[in-house]
Amino acid sequence: MKQISTWIEKRASMSPDRLALLDLRRRLTYFEMNNEMNRLAYYLRKIEMLQQGDRIGLYFNNRIDYILLLFAIAKIGAVAVPLNTRLTSEELSYQITDSEMSMLIYEYEFHITVQTLKNKHPQLTTRSIESVTLPPLQETYISHDFPIIDASTPYIICYTSGTTGRPKGAVLTQENMFWNAVNNCTSIDINSNDSTLVLLPLFHIGGIGLFAFPTFFAGGAVAILGKFDPKEALNMIEKEQISVIMGVPTIFDTIRKHNDFMTANLSSVRIFCSGGAPCPKELIEFYLHRGLPFYQGYGLTEASPTVFMLAKEDYKRKIGSVGKPVLYTDINIVDENNNPVVVGEIGELAVKGPNVIKEYWQLPAETNQSIKDGWFYTGDYVKADEDGFIYIIGRKKEMIISGGENVYPLEIEQVLKEDPAVDEVSVIGVSDEKWGEVPFAFIVVKDKHVITEEQLKQACLSKLAKYKIPKSFVILSELPKNAAGKVDKKQLKALLTNVSKGE
């Protein structure tokens, strides 16, 4: 299979004047995007002397250059290492060392942090994207004899934000990204008429694979917002007639709460798609009542990322489900003995397909623990209904065992979220001398609403067994979140620890 840079090359030949890529500052046709990709590839290969397999760190906010670099890196057969802009220099230093990074390309905004990293890693070549001088556009650069790349070799190392220990580098290949593009295009009908708005950070696989790369594969246009702002997002949707939008629940909740949401012209949008975290039923119904198509899906870094997607025929009648497996991905739901569970029973999700990683970077033991006979064991608990639709129950590592009973935080969160005064909720397990573990709930109350702990307990009593009811309810002004918009439960546990110490 050819490398994915051929997507841009072929489109530049087939439809050179078609809009390919834009942000708030620039607009590129496929012809122009191909030229920029080639200039960057030549720069990396001939000026910086980077070779196939060299790891290149990308330390940016969302911008056009990020996409161009990803395709240029694909063209020369190097390996991109997207770096989370919210990490500390110590966390970044670990990933630089672990990936054995040769070069770091960064946005000047982060130059102070980069200088700290340079002091720790004097052998690391660093370049700000603003200082990079590309060769002039000449035919010699466009037709330069770039290497033929084996699409099954590493292309992106995405570090997963694990809840314990150091993050692991999930190794994605160009082949993985190709099959993810096919899976997304065939599941939600992405085509050359579509324009996708990227709201998720490009340093996560969600920003790349949902749905930027699939849209390029289909020959559509990709719009990059930059730092997320709900007003700018609504403006771009209207101005650019955006048709496909991927986000996490936090993003869609922020957009719908903006003053412009109810009056914005969103008629061009045929898909709002939520993933990355459980989406409250109330949020889904809010969009549906506005007449907007609101889908759900499920994916993970190790699957490039898409595994499940709701089809256009089902998003209204199967609210709460993440859909069915995409075309070229198989699934299995198994119990603790690796036996398939029956319909309606909870089990761990295992996935298999050409979109699934083959390894974690230089971690053979962890790879063998997660991937067995080609099946990747996700650590997520799910169940299937009688129609084959999948529902996410929660993370295996987040399951609470209280008095010998299994308690799933998501089940409690969904009950509490039904209260009209509750804006956000997150439940974690806390050690308990009597029961082993008990659930604790963290609540964010909506503006101008008041709620008591007794009211919250009563809401739980009517729908949950007593052992599932949180031992305590902590009211916060906001829940801590990571860069992908997911609640950071590690910070919640740390908050409880500090409270218990009297800090």
Residue-range domains of the chain with CATH: 5-384 (3.40.50.12780), 399-500 (3.30.300.30)
* pLDDT value of position 34: 95
| Residue matched to tokens 């759900």 | 296
Closest by CA to 2, choosing from 116, 130, 150, is 150
Measured CA to CA, the distance from residue 503 to residue 497 in angstroms comes to: 9
Spatial neighbors of 68 by CB under 8 A, at least 6 apart, are 21, 33, 36, 37, 40
Torsion of CA 47, 48, 51, 55, to 10 degrees: -150
Q: What's residue 142's pLDDT?
A: 61
Residue 394 phi/psi, 5° resolution? 150, 175
The two three-digit tokens of residue 180, written as one number: 């993810």
Buried b (16+ CB within 10 A) or exposed e, 332-347: bbeeeeeeebeeeebb
Which pLDDT score is estimated for 263? 96
Order of all β-strands in the sheet with 472-475: 422-432, 436-445, 472-475
Q: Outline where 436-488 has alpha helix (H).
A: 453-461
Strand 55-59 with 103-106, pairing: parallel
Separation of alpha carbons 41 and 80, rounded Å: 13
Count Cα neighbours of 279 within 13 Å in the Cβ-side half-sphere. 30
Rg of the chain over Cα atoms, rounded to whole angstroms, equals: 23
State residue 163's pLDDT score: 41
Say how far apart CA 256 and CA 133 lie, in whole Å: 42
**What pLDDT does residue 280 have?**
87
Please report the pLDDT score of residue 499 as a whole number.
56
Q: How far apart are the first and last CA of the chain?
A: 57
Residues 6+ away with beta carbon under 8 Å from 169: 81, 95, 98, 99, 157, 158, 159, 160, 360, 361, 362, 363
d(Cα 307, Cα 355) in Å, to the nearest integer?
9
| Number of C-beta neighbours around residue 477 at 10 A | 6
- Over the chain (503 residues), what is each successive 10-residue block's mean pLDDT? 91 97 96 95 94 97 97 97 93 96 98 97 97 80 76 96 72 98 98 97 95 98 96 97 95 95 97 91 94 96 97 94 98 97 97 97 95 96 97 90 88 92 93 88 93 92 91 93 84 77 53
For residue 183, what are its two tokens? 């899976």
Q: What is the pLDDT of residue 1?
A: 67
* Helical pair 30-42 and 64-76, crossing angle rounded to 10 deg: 60
Q: Are 14 and 1 in contact (CB under 8 A)?
A: no
DSSP per residue over 240-307, as a string? HT--EEEE-HHHHHHHHTSTTTTTS--TT--EEEE-SSPPPHHHHHHHHHTT--EEEEEE-GGGSSEE
In 3D space, the residue among 470, 469, 489, 471 whose CA is nearest the CA of residue 479 turns out to be 489
Global model pTM greater than 0.75: yes
Half-sphere exposure (CA, 13 Å, Cβ side) for 246?
Answer: 34
